[in-house]
Amino acid sequence: MKIFLDSADLKEVRTAAGWGVLSGVTTNPTLAAKAGARDFKSVLAEICQLVPGAAISAEVVSSDTDSMLNEARELAAVDPQVVVKIPVTPDGLAAVRQLGQEGIRTNVTLVFSTAQAILAAAAGADFVSPFVGRLDDRGEDGLGLVGEIMKVFNTYRYATEVIAASIRTPRQVVGAALAGAHIATVPFKVLQRLFEHPLTAQGIERFRADWELLQGR
């Protein structure tokens, strides 16, 4: 499973890219606002440079097809790495179909059901993003949804890649991998926690101490 960073914060992107584990970055208007990204297009361009060759998602905010298409073309013009995030509505999927014909990649977002994921694949989306955490927040089964989508996508060999999004915990990342998701997009704090295990820290300390003993320090 590939790891994407779910962030529009340049410092976080730079740090996580330095760890060598990133295959992409996803942003949304909320994350851009949180990062204080006023000139979002220049932030987007910088993210593309920080993670060369990776898929970098940026979201449209209009609701009708024509306006989404205009926004999408502007975002895609920033860099060939840009993938345009579009909500799973009838207007959104019409835009997805058109953008596919123009060679602009899309990530269909705000997906909360398998039916919506099937529609996104039918429209030719490159990626589809089921929101795990927001479903769990409501007492529903976010990872169960990812598993169900994977079962359908594998059965029909859809080319659309599934991004487990709205991730809140390291365990959800593992759960997404066990469910067969192609990608998990992970907030910076969760990504940091994925590295952690007390036995790793203890082991490093013990190896260092034993080595120093051997050197007679």
Q: Which residues participate in catalysis according to the annotation?
A: 85
Task: Determine which helix (DSSP H) or strand (DSSP E) holds 55, and give its type and residue range.
Answer: strand 55-59
CA pair distance 172, 134, nearest whole angstrom: 12
DSSP state of 159: -
Q: CA 106, CA 210: separation in Å to the nearest integer?
A: 52
**Least distance (Å) between residue 151 CB and ligand G3P:** 22
Residue number, 28 or 81, with CB nearest to ligand G3P: 28
Residues in CB range of 152: below 8 A, 6 or more apart: 114, 117, 118, 158
Q: DSSP assignment of 127-151, as one string? A: EEEEBHHHHHHTTS-HHHHHHHHHH
We find the least distance from the C-beta atom of residue 217 to ligand G3P, in angstroms, to be 47
Residue 81 within binding range of ligand G3P, rule CB under 6 A: no
Q: Counting contacts by CB under 6 A, is residue 133 touching ligand G3P? A: yes
Q: Can you tell me which of 3, 5, 6, 9 binds ligand G3P, judged by CB under 6 A?
A: 6
- Contact call for residue 26 and ligand G3P (CB under 6 A): yes
Task: Report the 10 Å Cβ neighbour count for 190.
Answer: 20
In DSSP terms, which residues pair with 3 in a beta bridge? 22, 184
The two three-digit tokens of residue 175, written as one number: 């759960």
The Cα–Cα gap between 120 and 57 comes to: 16
Is 166 near ligand G3P (CB under 6 A)? Answer: yes
| Candidate segments 24-32, 48-56, 172-180, 191-199, binder of ligand G3P by CB under 6 A | 24-32
Tell the smallest beta-carbon distance from residue 165 to ligand G3P (Å): 4
CB of 214 to ligand G3P, least distance (A): 47
**Considering the rule CB under 6 A, would residue 9 count as an interface residue with ligand G3P?**
no
134 touches ligand G3P by CB under 6 A: yes
Residues near ligand G3P, by CB under 6 A:
6, 26, 28, 30, 131, 133-134, 165-166, 185
